[in-house]
Amino acid sequence: MTRRDIKYSTIGLVLFSSVLAVVLLVVPYFRLKREAGKQEGMAEAGVHWLDTLSNAASSQSSMKGVDADIERYMYRRSLQGVSFAVSRNDSLLYAKGYGWADKEKGEKMTPGHIMRIASASKLVTAIAVMKLAEQGKLKLTDRVFGPGGILDREDFNSEIRDKRIYDITVYDLLLHRGGFGRNLGDPLFTTRDIIAQNKLSTPPDADELTRIVLRRRLSYTPRSGRRYSNYGYLVLSMIVEKASGMEYEKYVAENMLGQIGPRGMRMATNYYEQKYPEEVRYYTETRDLVEEFTGSGRMVPPIYGGSDYHALSGAGGWCTSAAALSLMVAMVDKHPDIPDILRPSTIDLMTSYSEKEKLAAGWSSTDEHGRWERTGTLASTHTLIERFPDGDCWIIITNTGSLVGSRISHELSRLVENMRARYSDSLPRQNLFEHRDVIRQAK
């Protein structure tokens, strides 16, 4: 090879190396820029991060056993649709919809569909109250009613007959030990009776219902017992409004749902015609009709007009998906990948465990090993959240109510335990939260 050949070969090699370097540096840059542009375009188009999820992302051969188990249970309980998600240490590993979101329209369930979550809404409310306490806008020891109470109002004070009501604290309501019982029925599910008994022309709002309840005697002295109270969590919703100076839903949206977004969690409506575009159709096993909650005399399905679901507010009025609920739990689990919205000490207080009494706030129950559970049941839906000590969180929501009622919560818990034992090691190694860069948004 001549000196001239060597010279041109060297020049060619240098040019090739330069071009290769440009390709390696520039192409990824434009690829990233194109992807960023796509994400910005999606945001401008109003696309929510849940819309980027699909069943295909979780349809893996290693999880066919999960598919089979869930579909088998759906057949057994005549469930039309299920939203299912599994997260681990702030990573969403699996999110899938099963069955129908709206069978009549031929609409299949996806991870982005939202539905009523019943009493799992209480977890949202408890987090909101704890957030306000951290912000210094209330204390858990604050009295609720009467002079000096958070809800110190003349129209409320004038109705109080049982002086023990003055002793109820915010913390008492969080732990279901405020003295409210259901001797005359649950105030949130006996609307027709309340309308008739009090000669009302319309269903009572939260203020009117509170005036009515305050005329009654407590079922027990506050802190001397514990009885599940939907009404107590309605009062907590009112406390959130009073302490924050904002509507309950707005406070939650602005202080807690930044990562989830309003598209991913909304307040329930009462009728099919009012449902959100991304909301499912609800089903029930019974074909029996009931009288409309308004007292109109009209006969309606119990799932659409049988109860005032919107009025449940923070006691049971939220709609969301299993994937979005996974993110909510990730924001209060003390794992660092997604920053928590509460301090570690506050999360510890919410999940306290005692052999003698249940101290969990917002959660249905906790145990000495660090397992947290939240359930919810309505005529139209069932919800189960199981958060395990190793960081796994398994969530199931149905769009169908079962005649077995709250017993289905125990069945769903056993289903989760069985699937977790068999398939936990087979879960996909992915983080579906990153579809919309949730972690970056959180920081």
Residue 256 near residue 91, CB atoms below 8 Å: no
**Per-residue pLDDT at 166:** 98
User: What confidence score (pLDDT) does residue 282 get?
Assistant: 98
Residue 186 near residue 236, CB atoms below 8 Å: no
pLDDT score of 101 more than 90: yes
Q: What pLDDT digit, counting tens, does each position of 321-359 carry?
A: 999 999 999 999 999 999 999 999 999 999 999 887 778
Q: What is the pLDDT of residues 176-189, one digit of tens each?
A: 999 999 888 999 99
120/383 Cα distance (integer angstroms): 7
- In the 8-state DSSP scheme, what is residue 426? G
Coarse DSSP helix, strand, coil percentages of the chain, rounded to the nearest 5 percent: 45, 15, 40
What's the mean pLDDT in 98-123? 97
Q: For position 31, what pLDDT does the model report?
A: 37
Distance from C-alpha of 99 to C-alpha of 4, rounded to nearest angstrom: 73
DSSP string, 2-26: -HHHHHHHHHHHHHHHHHHHHHHHH
Beta strands, E only, 60-191: 81-88, 91-102, 107-108, 115-116
pLDDT at 48: 63
Q: Average pLDDT of 76-103?
A: 97
Contacts of 196 (CB under 8 A, 6+ apart): 295
Residue type for position 144: V
Give helix then strand counts, H and E, for the chain. Answer: 13, 14
Which is more confident, 424 or 17?
424
Summarised one tens digit per residue, pLDDT across range 145-172 is 999 999 999 999 999 999 999 999 999 9
What's the CA gap between 65 and 92, in Å, rounded? 19
Residue 347 in 3-state DSSP? helix
Side chain identity at 249, as an amino acid letter?
Answer: E
Residue 64's pLDDT is: 95
Tokens, residue 193: 């009776």
What pLDDT does residue 40 have?
A: 42
Closest to 113 (Cα-Cα) out of 87, 82, 134, 86: 82
Q: Is the pLDDT of residue 20 over 70?
A: no
Distance from the first to the final alpha carbon of the chain: 61
Q: How confident is the model at residue 19, as a pLDDT?
A: 42
Q: What is the structure's pLDDT at 27?
A: 37
Residue 29 reports pLDDT greater than 70 = no
Average pLDDT over residues 187-213: 97
Taking residues 367-387, report their average pLDDT.
96
Q: What is the mean pLDDT of residues 65-82?
A: 97
Burial of 129 (0-12, 13-18, 19+ CB in 10 A): buried
- Is the predicted pLDDT of residue 24 greater than 90, yes or no? no
What's the pLDDT score for residue 322? 98
Q: Calculate the alpha carbon distances from 144 to 153, 169, 241, 354 in Å.
A: 10, 5, 13, 25
Looking at residue 64, the DSSP 8-state letter turns out to be H
Weakest-pLDDT range from 42-46, 64-68, 108-112: 42-46
Look up the CATH number of domain 130-248. 3.40.710.10
Of the CA atoms within 13 Å of residue 269, those in its CB half-sphere come to 13
Percentage of residues in the chain with pLDDT exceeding 70? Answer: 87
Q: Which of 13-27, 256-270, 361-375 has maximum average pLDDT?
A: 361-375
pLDDT for position 311: 96
Give the H or E element holding residue 192. Answer: helix 191-197
Please state the CATH superfamily assignment of the domain spanning residues 56-120+259-295+320-442 in this structure. Answer: DD-peptidase/beta-lactamase superfamily (3.40.710.10)
Residue 215 has pLDDT above 50, yes or no: yes
Average pLDDT, the chain: 89
Percent of the chain with pLDDT over 90: 79
Q: Which residues of 384-414 are buried (b: 16+ CB within 10 A; e: fewer)?
A: bbbbbeebbbbbbbbbbbbeeeeebbebbbe
SS3 428: coil
23-32, 96-105, 159-168, range with the lowest pLDDT: 23-32
Neighbouring C-beta atoms of residue 70, cutoff 10 Å: 19
Cα 199 off chain centre by: 36
What's the whole-model pTM score?
Answer: 0.88
**Which stretches within 338-442 are classed as H helix?**
344-350, 407-423, 438-442
Structure confidence by residue, pLDDT tens digits, 287-304:
899 999 999 999 999 999
Residue 362 amino acid letter: G
Residue pLDDT, tens place only, 135-144: 999 999 999 9
pLDDT band of residue 374 (cuts 50, 70, 90) is very high
Amino acid at 238: M
